[in-house]
Chains A and B, each alone.
Chain A
Amino acid sequence: MSKIVSITGAGAISYGMKQINPDVVPAFPITPSTQIVEDFSKFVTDGKVDTEFITVESEHSAMSACIGASVAGGRVMTATSSAGMALMWEMLYIAASMRQPIIMTLVNRALSAPINIHADHSDSMGARDSGWIQLYSENHQEAYDNLIMAPRIAEKAGVRLPVMVCLDGFIISHCLQNMIIEDDDKVKAFIGEYEDRHSVLDIKNPVSWGALDLADYFIEHKRAQNIAMKNAKDAICEVSRDFSNVFGRKYKLFESYKTDDAEKVIIAINSIAGEIKEVVDKLRDKNEKVGLLKIRAFRPFPYAEISKALKNVKIIAVLDRSESFGAYGPLFTEIRTALYDMVDRPLIYNRIYGLGGRELSLDLINDIFQESENYLQKGKVEKIFDYINVRGG
C-alpha cells in the first residue's frame, strides 16, 4: 500500500533509493545533500538493502567508484551538491561518454566564492554539457517520482546515459512536506531487473572500457552519444506514461500550468514553480490570462514541444537561478532558441533571481507579471536582462 508521509526531500530521496535497492552506492556527504547519504548508510547498516556502500575520500573518487561499479555490471546510485559535483567534473563526462546509466541526486546549491550553502542552479547548469540527462523537481513528490523513473530512463536500450535528479537545496531537501511514498513491491516491479552491458566481470567475454580515441574516431563517438540523448527524450515520455499508469501521477518533459489561453507566461525551474502557481491562481481569480511553464527535462531540451506549447503566448519572462557571466541565463538562451522558428514570436525577457538562496516572494512574482503587462502595452521589452531582489537594482 502507498502511504502519505511527512518527510524531508532528502529523506524521500533516500527512501526511494532504499526501494530501488541499488547494487553499489559510493558517496561523500556534502550539504545540503548530506541526509540522503546519512539515511541511506543507515539502511545499509540495518540490512534493509543489499547495497555495497562505499565511503570514499572525495567526490572525484565517489564518481570514479560509480563508474567502476557500473562497468562491473551493477546498478549504481549516488548523491551530491554544489562543490561536490564540481569536484566530480572530470568523471561526470566520463560516466556519460562511457554510457553508464548511473543515477545521481543533485541537491542544487550555489558554487563558491563567496562560500554559500543555499539553493541556486549554478552547479547543475554548469554541468548541462556533460552528457547527463537532467530532470528537475518542483517539490518532494516530484523529486521522489523522478528518482523512481530515473533508472528506467537511464537503462533503456538506445539511451544508456546517466541521469541527474535535481532538487533545490534546503527548500526541498530539508523542509517537511506531505507526500505519497509508493509500495515497495510496486516500485520494485516498476524498476525491473538491471541488465548490464559488457560487464568487466563477464570473464567469458573480456572487454576494455575507457580506451583512447584519436582524431579518427572521437567525433563519431560523440555523434553516437548525441543520438542517445535524443532517444532519451522519447524514453522520458514513455517511462512517464508508464509511471502515470501505475502510480497515477502525470509527468511530461515540462509542465504547462494554465498556459492554454495565457498571454503572459513565466518559465522557471524547480521549487519556485510552486510559488509561481500560487500567484497564477490569484491572478486568474482576477481574470488575468497568466500561466507557468515549468521545465522538468533540461537535458535533453524539448525545443519543438516548448515552442508548440507557447504558440498563443504574447510575452514570456524566463527566470534563471544561475549566472552565465557575460551571457544571458542558461534557461533563457534555450527558450529563446526554441521560439526562433515561430511565425509570431512572443516578447521575451530574462531575470536572474534567488542566487545563493535569496528569496523570491509572491509579491515579487506578482511584479514580474505586472512588468510583462507593461511591456505588452508598450509593445516592446525595455530591459531584456536584469536581476530581481538585488540591493542597488
Chain B
Amino acid sequence: MDKYELKPWQDLALGGVITQGGNSADYNTGSWRTYKPLWDKKHCINCLTCWVFCPEDAFFLTDNLKKESKIKKKISGINYYHCKGCGLCAKECPVNKKGKVFAIKIVKESK
C-alpha cells in the first residue's frame, strides 16, 4: 500500500509542521520516474558505486554471507518506491563503463 496518501486540507497539521521524524521516507518519489534502472545480479561486482552515488538511497544492501570475503555488503535490488530514475547509477557503474556488459540497464518506465 502507498504510505503517501493525499489528505484533504482539514486533516493537515498547523502551518505544515512535520510531527514525525524521518517521514520523508514515506514520500513516493518513485512516482516521478520516466526511465527505470534494471539491476543485473549476474554482472554486478558489488563495488557499491551505485549505492554511493544514488541520491535517494534506493539500492538495497545485504550482508555478504561469505564471512571470509573482503566484500562485506552486497547489492540486493532497487527500491522503486524511492528511485526516481535519474540514471546516475548506470552512468557511474564501472561494469557499464567498460562497455562489454551492463550491470545496470536504463529502460523506459513502461517496460
Point out residues on A near B: beta carbons under 8 Å: 97-100, 160, 197-198, 205-211, 213, 216-217, 220-221, 223-224, 227
Contacts and interface: CB of A to CB of B under 8 A. Distances in A.
A261 B7 CA distance: 50
A256 B9 CA distance: 37
The 10 closest A-B pairs by CB, nearest first: A99-B15, A220-B9, A208-B18, A98-B15, A223-B9, A198-B17, A224-B9, A99-B14, A207-B17, A221-B16
B9 to A, nearest CB: 4
Contacts of A198: 13-14, 17, 19
A194 to B, nearest CB: 15
A207 B10 CA distance: 20
Contacts of A224: 9-10, 12
B18 A207 contact: yes
A100 B15 CA distance: 8
A205 B19 contact: yes
A208 B17 contact: yes
A220 B8 contact: yes
A160 B12 contact: no
B21 interface: yes
A96 to B, nearest CB: 9
B15 A160 contact: yes
| Chain A binding surface, main DSSP class | loop
A346 B84 CA distance: 60
A97 B16 contact: yes
A210 B15 CA distance: 8
B6 interface: yes
A211 B19 contact: no
B19 A220 contact: no
Contacts of B8: 220
Contacts of B6: 216-217
Contacts of A160: 14-15
A205 B20 CA distance: 8
Interface of B: 6-10, 12-19, 21
A211 B15 contact: no
A70 to B, nearest CB: 10
Nearest to B18: A208
Contacts of B21: 206
9 contacts: A98-B17, A198-B17, A198-B19, A209-B15, A210-B16, A220-B8, A221-B9, A221-B16, A223-B9
A287 B7 CA distance: 60
A99 B17 CA distance: 10
A211 B14 contact: no
Nearest to B19: A207
Nearest to B8: A220
Nearest to A213: B16
Nearest to B7: A220
A205 B18 CA distance: 10
B15 A97 contact: yes
The interface centre, meaning the residue of B8, B13, B14, B19 with most chain A CB atoms within 10 A of its CB, is B14
A211 B13 CA distance: 12
Nearest to A222: B9
A44 to B, nearest CB: 29
A197 B9 contact: no
A198 B16 CA distance: 11
A98 B16 contact: yes
A68 B15 CA distance: 14
Contacts of A206: 21
B15 A220 contact: no
B17 A209 contact: yes
A160 B15 CA distance: 9
A53 B17 CA distance: 26
Nearest to B13: A198
A85 B15 CA distance: 22
A62 B41 CA distance: 56
A291 B75 CA distance: 80
Nearest to B31: A216
A320 to B, nearest CB: 32
Nearest to B16: A221
A333 to B, nearest CB: 27
Contacts of B7: 220
Given A206-B21, A207-B19, A216-B6, 15 more contacts: A98-B15, A99-B14, A197-B14, A198-B17, A198-B19, A207-B18, A208-B17, A213-B16, A217-B16, A220-B7, A220-B12, A221-B16, A223-B9, A224-B9, A224-B12
B49 to A, nearest CB: 29
A210 B16 CA distance: 7
